[in-house]
Amino acid sequence: MSRIRLSEWRKLPLSLTDLCIETTLRCGQSFRWRKIDDEWTCVLYGRLLSLKQDKTHLHYKVVSSTVVPPALTPAASVKGEPDSNGDDDTEALIRHYFSLKHDLTALYNQWSKSDPNFRKKAPRFTGIRILSQDPWEALIGFICSSNNNISRISQMVHKLCKHYGPLVGHLGDEAFHDFPTPQALSGKKVEAHLRELGFGYRAKYIAETARIVSEERPEGWLESLINPENPGWYSAKMATAFEPPTYRHAHEELLLLSGVGPKVADCVCLMGLGWDEAVPVDTHVWQIAQRDYKFGKAKTKTFSKVMYDSVGDHFRKIWGKQAGWAQSVLFTANLKSFSEHASGKTEAVEIKVKVEDVENDVTPDQPITHSRKRRQVAVMETIKVEKRPSTEGVRASKRRKTRG
C-alpha cells in the first residue's frame, strides 16, 4: 500500500453515548494523544490524525502520513464495518482503534441489568470504550505507568517517540513521531540514555523487554497473543510453533517480561491484545471491590496473586465476557479528577502484589509456560492521584491518576 492520502475533515455518525473521546482518551488507556485547541492529535500506524467531536459526529482528518510498511497487511474487515474506499483505510482504522464493532449501548444495558452499582454510576460516564491499541505500544506504555501518573507517563512516551520513533509530520512547528519498534529500543546505549531522559528504573525494564522481544522471541510472538475474536490492525508474519492464544496464556507470557507484573499484564491484555475479560486490579479497582462489592473482609492494601485473580474472577462473573470494559467505566467514575468540583489535593497510596510460585496460586486453566522461577517477583506500586478540575484539556487531564 502506498502513502495514505491527506484529507479534509471527514465525519462518522457517532453520538456521545456511542463514543466520548474527551473521556476515552483521558482515562489512562493511551498516553500519546495531545489536545491542541479543540482537536485531539496522534500518530497511528504511520499517519498523523486529528480528531474532534460534536453531539452527533466524530470528525477526523489525516494531517500527514508516511509509507505503510509493505510487509504488513491490514486486518480483515469485520462484519458490520464497511470496507475502505480504495487505498484509504483511515475510516476502517478509526473504527478498529475505537472498537466500534461493539454496541456500547447494549453493553451498558447488559451491565446495568446485572449490576445495581454499575446502573447507579454509569449514566454520568457514557461513551467510554476500550481502545484497540498496538500491543507493543501498550506494553511499553504500561511499563512506564508503574509508580507514575498520566502527566509523567505521557512525557516519557513522548520522549521515546521523539528520540527513537520515525518522524511522520508536523502540526505547525510541532513534530510528531510514530512509536519506536522493539529493535529501536534494544540498543546497548538505550538504557543509559533513557536514564538521562528521566526514566529512572523503568529504563532497564524498557531496554530489557525490547531486547527480549526483538532477540529472544520469534518474529510475531507478541501479535500471536492477540485474541482471535479481536484481531490486530496488522497481521504480522507468525512463527509456526505458537500455541492457540487464550487470555490466561497471554497473561502468563507477559509476566515473563522485565517490568511486567499482574496489573501491567492485564492492561496489555485488555488494551493491546483484545482480551476484553481482562480486569486490571490497581488501587482504585481494589477500593471499588471493597467499598461497592464488599469484597474481602480485611481492608488490606497487600494481597497475593490468588487474591488478585479472585477480584478479576469476581467481576467477570458479574459483568461477563467484556468485564474489562465495565471495569473501565467504574474506574473512570472513581476518579474524582473527572468532576468539575474536584479538589487539587494529591494522595499517594501504596499497594503490593506478590507473585509466588505456590501450587495453590495457579488455576487449572493456566498453562505451564517456562521453568523460570517467579517467586522473586514482587511489584510495589505507589499511585499518585492528583485531583484537578478538567478545565484545561489535556494539560489538566495529564495529571490524572493512571492504571499504573
Residue type at 315 in one-letter notation: F
- Do residues 323 and 315 touch, judged by C-beta distance below 8 A? yes
- Do residues 223 and 245 touch, judged by C-beta distance below 8 A? no
End-to-end CA distance of the chain: 37
Helices and strands: H and E segment counts in the chain: 14, 10
Place of cell 485473580: 309
Sheet bearing 346-354, strands edge to edge: 302-304, 346-354, 378-386
Classified as helix, coil or strand, 47 is strand
- The DSSP result for 241-284, as a single string, is TPPPP-HHHHHHHHHTSTT--HHHHHHHHHHTS--TT-----HH
**Does the annotation mark 345 as catalytic?**
no
Cell output for 273: 491484545
318-340 as b/e, with b when 16 or more CB fall inside 10 Å?
ebbebbbbbbbbbbbbbbebbee
- Do residues 186 and 215 touch, judged by C-beta distance below 8 A? yes
Selecting among 121, 263, 305, 387, the annotated active-site residue is 263
The C-alpha angle 149, 152, 153, rounded to 5 degrees, equals 80
Q: Which residues belong to the active site?
A: 263
